[in-house]
Amino acid sequence: MAITYTSGEQVEVYRFSLPATILIPLTAVFIQAWLPLRFPFFSNFDLPLLVVIGFATARRSPLAGLITGGLIGIFQDALTHQPIGLYGISKTVVGFGASSLGIKLDVENAGARFLLTIFFYVMHEIVYFMIARGLVGLHMAWSWRHELVSGAANALLGVLVYMLLDHVKQRT
Amino acid sequence: MDVLGRYRNLIVLVGVLFAQILGLAVQVKHTTDSQSTRLIRIWAVDSVTPLEKVLVWTQTSGRNIWHNYFYLRGVRAENRSLKAQIEQMSLERVRMSQDADQARRLQALLAFKEQFISQTEAAQVIGSSGSELSRSVYIDKGEHDGIKPDMAVITADGIVGKVLRVYRSTSQVLLIDDQTSGVGAILDKTRLQGILRGTSSGEVVLEKVMSDETVPAGEQVLTSGGDGIFPKGLLVGRVMKVAPGGELFLNIRVRPAADLSKLEEVLVVTKIDEKQAEPDQGTSVRAIDVLAERLPGVPAKTDTSAAPSNADSDGKPKPVSPPASATSGGPITAAASADTKTFPKPTKATVDPKPQPALQDTPH
């Protein structure tokens, strides 16, 4: 049985099969947890975030986007030692925003996807920063340069991830 | 109703965010894991770690097959070199035991209590948290292996962190470079004490050292034992940079001795014994015994009261013969040449005929 979330708008709306809906986020979180041990620079990437953006822009349903984002974020939170909800809230916001924007914009080409990913990466970091500092009381330093460079690196990887997701998404 | 339908997505968004913020606030208020989040963590860890274990096992097996069966180039030469090192270190051990024994006698006089790592559990690092703001790793040992929260985790190079959460067959280890960690530390030479903490950027700093103190760069940082987790005297790292900090304290950056970004195998300290130091009594190993064991030319003699075995009837020391491989006309191996080169002939300076506590060693 395939899970479908459609907005009902006059745009192309895609769906993902149940195995893809479960296994892709799981694989993303697994790679995110495993790869930095072998390649420490990989901790600069946020693969689960790219999956959230990829799913949200393809499904184009704000409800589906925020639920997917929230669940993936909470799953990611559970592997850290920080309170659960930091990634959950950030990715809920990004999932909602990406799917809402996906309804209005054409996000099928690589250029648009690149810019969209930078934008949502920075948004994710801002939300995370605010909650981590304001609510949890973590000491964090904000650097626009670092965030923009990381955003660009994530966007490059994101374009590749979205190309892979294109192969598993199904037209409704 | 129309308004509700129109703003349905926004209402759901606000509801979901509110629920998560509420949950977060509850967790922040209660520092210990509540049952609900504990369950979520168990599900998440159980869904990720089995695959990580399989991958690490495959990787390790493949590497072992390659190193143990195929890639054996240079092993013979390495073996010879290691043997030579063992010979050299055996004598060094005897020499160093003099100081150790003297220290133990002094400690006994002061009723000093020592901490000993009496039991460890080797574990493999199988995964990380995947977040820069949560510097923690997962190991493949858990509750079933006797791991408990707050146990120290070390490597041969230095300390790594402490066990934070324990699951059935895995555990989460909080690294010393995480900003929520804290380790009691002491500088080796200046004996200044401070608290070792991580920063959000992953650096390790030594805090609470007064700014009027002088701390040279390169000085070793050891555990002080004050945190109740790490036994005293374990290597933490070296001072990298010292700068004036705020509030009358120095800002001391420390480079951890263990490479925290490339951890593969660690030791979990499962038991620490504390006992009062006692001077060594009873069985002792003398330098001459070690020489006799290592060098075939020296006859073994165990009676400490008798004259040393390499002294003749006049009490004059006899020269030590080189190893058999060297005397039999065979090729002089690296070990043999190291023996003759490193160990001087046992003149009076190296093996004194009179029994001396300086040559005693701790029983093993």
- By CB atoms closer than 10 A (0-12, 13-18, 19+), residue B304 is middle
- Which of A38, A50, A79 is the best residue to mutate to test the B interface, defined by the most B CB atoms within 10 Å of its own CB? A79
Interface of B with A in 223-262 (CB under 8 A): 261-262
Structural domain contains residue A92: yes
Query: Per residue in B197-219, is it b (16+ CB within 10 Å) or e — as a string?
Result: bbeeebbbbbbbbeeeeebeeeb
State the first-to-last Cα distance of chain B, in angstroms, to the nearest integer: 83
Structural domain contains residue A2: no
**B210 in reach of chain A (CB within 8 A):** no
Rounded to whole angstroms, what are the CA distances from B48 to A25, A86, A141, B104?
11, 20, 30, 49
Q: Which of B235, B233, B254 is nearest to B243 (CA)?
A: B254
For residue B172, the chain A residue with the least C-alpha distance is A81
For residue A135, the chain B residue with the least C-alpha distance is B25
Whether residues A40 and B201 touch (CB distance < 8 A) is answered with no
Task: Specify the pLDDT at position B307.
Answer: 41
Task: Specify the pLDDT at position A102.
Answer: 84
> B140-196 pLDDT, tens per residue?
999 999 999 999 999 988 999 999 999 999 999 999 999 889 999 999 888 889 999
- Which of A50, A80, A139 is the best residue to mutate to test the B interface, defined by the most B CB atoms within 10 Å of its own CB? A80
Residues B100/B233, Cβ–Cβ less than 8 Å: no
Rounded CA-CA distance A82/A90 in Å is 14
Q: Give contacts of A87 with chain B, Cβ < 8 Å.
A: 131
Integer-rounded Cα Rg, in Å, for chain A is: 15
Q: Which of B84, B86, B160 is nearest to B120 (CA)?
A: B160
Structural domain contains residue A73: yes
For residue B200, the chain A residue with the least C-alpha distance is A140
Rounded to whole angstroms, what are the CA distances from B33 to B28, B131, B196?
10, 19, 25
Q: Give contacts of B130 with chain A, Cβ < 8 Å.
A: 29, 32-33, 36, 43, 76, 79-80
Residues A93/A122, Cβ–Cβ less than 8 Å: no
Rounded CA-CA distance B250/B343 in Å is 46
Rounded CA-CA distance A150/A120 in Å is 12
**B326 SS3 class:** helix
Q: Give contacts of B172 with chain A, Cβ < 8 Å.
A: 81
For residue B265, the chain A residue with the least C-alpha distance is A37
> A138-150 pLDDT, tens per residue?
888 889 999 999 9
The whole-angstrom distance between B251's CA and the closest CA on chain A is 16
Instruction: Give me the phi and psi of B276, to 5 degrees please.
Output: -75, 140
Confidence band (pLDDT; 50, 70, 90) for A11?
low
Cβ neighbours of B276 (radius 10 Å): 11
Task: Specify the pLDDT at position A105.
Answer: 79
Q: Give contacts of B165 with chain A, Cβ < 8 Å.
A: 81
Whether residues B41 and A100 touch (CB distance < 8 A) is answered with no
| CA–centroid distance for B353 within its chain | 39
Task: Specify the pLDDT at position B276.
Answer: 64
SS (H, E, C) B182-249: CEEEEECCCCCEEEEEECCCCCEEEECCECCCCCCCCCEEEECCCCCCCCCCCEEEEEEEEEECCCCE
Rounded CA-CA distance A151/A170 in Å is 28
Task: Specify the pLDDT at position B279.
Answer: 59
Instruction: Say which residue, B225 or B256, is predicted with more confidence.
Output: B256
With a cut of 50, say whether residue B53 has pLDDT above it. yes
Rounded CA-CA distance A52/A57 in Å is 9
> B258-317 pLDDT, tens per residue?
999 888 889 999 988 776 666 555 455 555 565 566 555 555 554 444 444 444 444 444
Structural domain contains residue A81: yes
Domain B183-259 has CATH 2.40.10.350: yes
Task: Specify the pLDDT at position B115.
Answer: 66
Structural domain contains residue A43: yes
**B172 in reach of chain A (CB within 8 A):** yes
Residues A89/A72, Cβ–Cβ less than 8 Å: no
Q: Give contacts of A44 with chain B, Cβ < 8 Å.
A: 132
- CATH 2.40.10.350 positions along chain B are 183-259
Q: Give contacts of A82 with chain B, Cβ < 8 Å.
A: 131, 133-134
Rounded CA-CA distance A98/A95 in Å is 5
Q: In what order do the strands lie in the sheet with A14-17?
A: A2-3, A14-17, A170-171
- Which of A49, A63, A82 is the best residue to mutate to test the B interface, defined by the most B CB atoms within 10 Å of its own CB? A82
Rounded CA-CA distance A119/B153 in Å is 40
Beta bridge partners of A157: none
Compute the half-sphere exposure of residue B179: CA atoms within 13 Å on the CB side of its CA.
17
Q: Give contacts of B164 with chain A, Cβ < 8 Å.
A: 81
Compute the half-sphere exposure of residue B205: CA atoms within 13 Å on the CB side of its CA.
19
- How confident is the model over B344-348, as a mean pLDDT? 40
**B44 in reach of chain A (CB within 8 A):** yes
Domain count, chain A: 1
Rounded CA-CA distance B191/B213 in Å is 11
> What number of helices (H) and strands (E) belong to chain B?
7, 12
Rounded to whole angstroms, what are the CA distances from B9 to A88, A98, B1, B308?
17, 13, 14, 92
Count how many pairs of residues, chain A against chain B, have C-beta atoms within 8 Å. Answer: 136
What is the ipTM score, two decimals?
0.85
